[in-house]
């Protein structure tokens, strides 16, 4: 019996190790690649690096147009500009998504206007609109609003990708959250708004984190809209900027750019991962 | 009981009849619509023109650089029904969606079950399992491109090319790129589904599993008769979200590969028709042609995850 249990634990551990290795392997490969000097990129091994250096990372922040690495001369990229653009777009889109989804979720889950279930389902159903060709009419729309080559075009269109699920999540949560939570505040004469801001919102932050991380995941995987709306190099986001590079031996610039750009997101994810899970549980099952 | 009746019943329970109650309810409904408006505007308002455009264009002979588009009714759609190439693409699309969804759900259940009970080092394993999804997909995509379709001789390109030729020789032209596409989607999506189901497992009371386990002894039967039914609504929601991301990823990967993936799938074929061929009418029709199937999937999912939308007892 004891031996069987030990075997079981060993199997569990082995599977976990496998899971971790599988999850991290692509990130590991990319990181290794980004640390390679030119010679190793051409002649080295794909799975380890002998002489790691941060030269390619340093190049990302290089203001000069061209940089030489021994015999190899490569163009630099305006990485700081891209990073700034990405930060602006993501922060603004995230704020819009969270504010509107929170309001919609509260309306549907708490106030329940007639047909609230259908509102929720129709919102959710917009996920189905095939995005393949959507960028053509969306570009026409953006162009007519004079937002082409403007970061605002993304702030306007990204919410579309995340609101359906975020609003669903919030409404499911508010539906399950006991009304007693606010009642004492109402008895003391608080308005709906102040009860929401002072009592409901502070206790709901895991759900806000869950919706926020989901939204970040969705908008940070976009690629098409950013590429179509922002043709100018100086107005691009990191992903699109790096994606337009297609010349061999710029690969090290690209890979170090990916690692650098991924780092903040990994930090955010690591910091909020536990709350993300708690928020999903609260919204789908428990309430609070 | 239908939803409308239930909603009405809720309303009367919360707000006993009487003039003051009614006035209050009316105010509440007004507030609700006001709060709903920004989200609805950003979704329906922004989508209205593009969707209308796509539907209208699919009914015309619109052609880039051609003369004025004429209304042709359903001819664009009808042409696809007779087109053998289209049916091949449709079969591939179905294969892609089924394959990625099954893999993601299987992987997701495994991840969730592995992480569901406490053990030393769980936070570390949990973060590792979370990272594939948390890693920005747009950047991951660029990485995918450089590794899977390596542009020049470097440390990994020879190995990757060997892998590609071996796969293509074994399974047919272009299979490798299709499989890398599947791998990209499964790596990201499996992580999402796993964490999603973990959140579900955390919320389902352990008693439910324990009681059910008394009835069913064997591990495998327990899995199918206890775990899967308890997780069913969450699996449905996860499956739906994963199908949506599979479709989105497809477009992105296709675009990033410089349209080099020639393995025909309905939406990439539509993309090709529009961008290379300039046949907007036909392309719009093709991108919409699977909508009935997707709507069907949506309704099945709605039906399956209905328990999540119920009021708590």
What gap in Å lies between CA A19 and CA B143, rounded to an integer? 21
Could B287 and A40 be called an inter-chain contact, meaning their C-beta atoms sit closer than 8 Å?
Answer: no
Q: Chain A 111-130, CB below 8 Å of chain B: which residues?
A: 111-121, 123, 125-130
Query: Closest partner residue to B271 among A23, A133, A237, by Cβ?
Result: A133
Window from B43-57, B93-107, B109-123, B241-255 with minimum mean pLDDT: B241-255
Nearest-CA neighbor of A33 among A252, A247, A262, A261?
Answer: A252
What gap in Å lies between CA A151 and CA B235, rounded to an integer? 36
Q: Which run of H or of E encompasses A8?
A: helix A2-34
Same-domain pairing of A85 and A100: yes
Q: What is the pLDDT of residues A114-133, one digit of tens each?
A: 999 899 899 988 888 877 77
Number of domains forming the structure of chain B: 2
Which residue, among A141, A211, A222, A284, would best test binding to B if mutated, counting the most B CBs under 10 Å from its CB?
A284
Q: Chain A 168-207, CB below 8 Å of chain B: which residues?
A: 172, 175-176, 179, 192
Window from A207-221, A257-271, B216-230 with minimum mean pLDDT: B216-230
- Of the residues A75, A101, A125, the one at which a domain ends: A75
| Token pair belonging to A121 | 């389902």
State yes or no: pLDDT of A67 exceeds 90.
Answer: no
In total, the C-beta contacts within 8 angstroms joining chain A to chain B are 315
Same-domain pairing of B17 and B107: no
What is the rounded average pLDDT of the residues B124-151?
86
Which residue, among B31, B38, B142, would best test binding to A if mutated, counting the most A CBs under 10 Å from its CB?
B142
> Is B222 exposed, middle or buried (CB count within 10 Å of its CB: 0-12, 13-18, 19+)?
middle
What is the rounded average pLDDT of the residues A139-165?
91
Q: What is the pLDDT of residues B151-179, one digit of tens each?
A: 667 778 888 888 888 888 888 877 888 88
- Of the residues A22, A49, A75, the one at which a domain ends: A75
Q: Share the mean pLDDT of chain B.
A: 83
State yes or no: pLDDT of B15 exceeds 50.
Answer: no
Window from A43-47, A108-112, A124-128 with minimum mean pLDDT: A43-47
What gap in Å lies between CA B104 and CA B219, rounded to an integer? 22
Number of domains forming the structure of chain A: 2
A224 contacts on B by Cβ (under 8 Å) = 251-252, 255
Could A261 and B203 be called an inter-chain contact, meaning their C-beta atoms sit closer than 8 Å?
Answer: no
* pLDDT bracket for residue B313 (50, 70, 90): low
Backbone angles phi, psi at B250, to 5 degrees: -55, -50
Does B68 fall in a domain?
A: no
In this prediction the pTM is 0.90
Could A26 and B132 be called an inter-chain contact, meaning their C-beta atoms sit closer than 8 Å?
Answer: yes
What's A165's domain CATH number?
A: 1.10.3720.10
Same-domain pairing of B52 and B106: no
- Give the up-direction half-sphere exposure of residue A243: CA atoms within 13 A in the CB hemisphere: 29
Question: Could you give the 3-state DSSP secondary structure of residue B102?
Answer: helix
Which residue, among A18, A94, A130, would best test binding to B if mutated, counting the most B CBs under 10 Å from its CB?
A130
* pLDDT bracket for residue B193 (50, 70, 90): very high
Question: Could you give the 3-state DSSP secondary structure of residue A148?
Answer: coil
Nearest CA of chain A to the CA of B125: how many Å?
Answer: 6
> Is A128 exposed, middle or buried (CB count within 10 Å of its CB: 0-12, 13-18, 19+)?
middle
Same-domain pairing of B44 and B83: no
State yes or no: pLDDT of B12 exceeds 50.
Answer: no
| Structure-token match 């392309």, residue found | B283
| Position with higher pLDDT, A221 vs A68 | A221
Same-domain pairing of A41 and A167: no
Determine the structural domain holding residue B53 and report its residue range.
3-58
pLDDT of residue B5: 45
Same-domain pairing of A198 and A226: yes
What gap in Å lies between CA A73 and CA B126, rounded to an integer? 42
Window from A40-44, B15-19, B21-25, B48-52 with minimum mean pLDDT: B15-19
pLDDT of residue B129: 93
Determine the structural domain holding residue A49 and report its residue range.
2-75
Same-domain pairing of B161 and B37: no
State yes or no: pLDDT of B150 exceeds 80.
Answer: no
Same-domain pairing of A86 and A68: no
| Structure-token match 């542009």, residue found | B151
Q: What is the pLDDT of residues B29-45, one digit of tens each?
A: 999 999 999 999 999 99
Tell me A126's DSSP state: G
């Amino acid at each position: 019996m004891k031996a069987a249990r030990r075997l079981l634990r060993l199997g569990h551990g082995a599977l976990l190790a496998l899971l971790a290795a599988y999850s991290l392997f692509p990130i590991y490969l990319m990181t290794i690649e980004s640390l390679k000097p030119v010679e190793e990129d051409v002649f080295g091994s794909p799975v380890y690096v002998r002489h790691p250096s941060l030269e390619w990372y340093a190049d990302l922040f290089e203001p000069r147009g061209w940089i030489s690495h021994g015999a190899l001369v490569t163009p630099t990229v305006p990485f700081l500009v891209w990073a700034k653009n990405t930060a602006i777009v993501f922060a603004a889109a995230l704020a819009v998504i969270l504010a509107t989804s929170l309001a919609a979720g509260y309306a549907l889950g708490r106030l329940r206007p007639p047909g609230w279930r259908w509102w929720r389902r129709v919102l959710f159903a917009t996920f189905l609109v095939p995005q393949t060709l959507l960028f053509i009419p969306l570009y026409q729309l953006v162009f007519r609003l004079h937002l082409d080559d403007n970061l605002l075009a993304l702030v306007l269109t990204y919410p579309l990708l995340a609101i359906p699920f975020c609003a669903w999540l919030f409404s499911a949560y508010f539906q399950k959250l006991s009304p007693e939570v606010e009642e004492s505040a109402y008895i003391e004469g608080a308005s709906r708004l102040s009860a929401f801001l002072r009592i409901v919102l502070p206790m709901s932050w895991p759900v806000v984190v869950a919706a926020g991380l989901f939204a970040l995941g969705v908008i940070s995987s976009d690629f098409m809209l950013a590429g179509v709306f922002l043709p100018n190099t100086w107005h691009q986001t990191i992903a699109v900027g790096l994606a337009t590079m297609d010349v061999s031996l710029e690969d090290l610039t690209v890979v170090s750019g990916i690692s650098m750009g991924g780092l903040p997101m990994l930090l955010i994810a690591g910091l909020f991962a536990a709350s993300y899970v708690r928020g999903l549980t609260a919204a789908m099952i428990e309430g609070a | 009981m239908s939803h409308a009746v239930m909603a009405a019943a809720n309303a009367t329970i919360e707000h006993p009849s009487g003039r003051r109650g009614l006035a209050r309810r009316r105010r509440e409904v007004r507030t609700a619509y006001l709060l709903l408006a920004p989200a609805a505007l950003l979704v329906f308002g922004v989508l209205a023109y593009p969707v209308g455009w796509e539907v209208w264009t699919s009914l015309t002979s619109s052609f880039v650089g051609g003369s004025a588009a004429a209304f042709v009714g359903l001819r664009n759609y009808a042409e696809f029904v007779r087109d053998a190439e289209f049916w091949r693409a449709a079969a591939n699309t179905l294969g892609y969606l089924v394959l990625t969804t099954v893999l993601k759900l299987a992987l997701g259940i495994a991840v969730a079950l592995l992480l569901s009970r406490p053990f030393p080092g769980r936070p570390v394993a949990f973060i590792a399992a979370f990272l594939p999804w948390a890693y920005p997909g747009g950047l991951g995509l660029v990485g995918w491109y450089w590794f899977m379709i390596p542009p020049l001789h470097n440390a990994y390109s020879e190995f990757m090319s060997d892998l590609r030729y071996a796969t293509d020789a074994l399974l047919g032209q272009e299979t490798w790129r299709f499989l890398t596409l599947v791998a990209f989607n499964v790596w990201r999506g499996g992580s999402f589904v796993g964490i999603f189901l973990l959140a579900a497992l955390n919320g389902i009371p352990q008693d439910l599993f324990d009681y059910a386990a008394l009835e069913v002894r064997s591990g495998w039967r327990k899995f199918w008769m206890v775990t899967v039914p308890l997780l069913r609504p969450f699996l449905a929601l996860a499956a739906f979200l994963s199908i949506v991301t599979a479709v989105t990823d497809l477009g992105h990967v296709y675009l990033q590969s410089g349209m080099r993936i020639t393995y025909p799938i309905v939406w990439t074929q539509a993309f090709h028709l529009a961008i290379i061929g300039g046949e907007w009418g036909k392309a719009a029709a093709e991108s919409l042609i699977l909508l009935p199937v997707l709507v069907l999937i949506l309704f099945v999912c709605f039906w399956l995850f209905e328990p999540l939308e119920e009021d708590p007892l």
